[in-house]
Amino acid sequence: MILEALGSAALGYALALAATRRFPERLPDRRLVLATGPVAALAGGLISRTVLGSGHLAVVWCVAVGFSAALLSLLLRDESPGRRQWRQDALRTGPAPAGASAGFGQSADFRQQAPGLPSASYGPR
């Protein structure tokens, strides 16, 4: 069991080291990445060891590398953060509802549905 745990941690550390060399600008602090890799691999190896039992060294190490790769992929950021485009609200892009530009003296019902647009509620009005 010690061999499986040490091997899993070593594989996770090697994967984290390879990720820091391959994607240095897309990952956060190097210390966080180098700590996440072995801990994730150790957790994955111990979970697979518990599920499978003894005698499955290659499978345990493959699962450990998979856990480590999955958690390291969660640390990756976009290449250029300025390229992210946010979706606009579909109801706001349509024409303004009648009475939306009402002044102080007029009462406007903002819940009024514009003609031709579907209702945003789940039931009939």
**Tokens representing residue 68 in the block:** 């480590």
Name the residue type at position 70: A
Neighbours of 37 (CB within 10 A): 28
E strand intervals along 1-122: none
Residue range 57-93, pLDDT digits in tens: 999 999 999 999 999 999 988 876 555 555 555 555 5
Residues 6 or more apart whose CB falls under 8 angstroms from that of 98 comprise 112, 114
The answer to whether the pTM exceeds 0.85 is: no
Question: What angle do the packed helices 30-52 and 2-22 form, to 10 degrees?
Answer: 140
Residues 6 or more apart whose CB falls under 8 angstroms from that of 26 comprise 76, 77, 78, 79
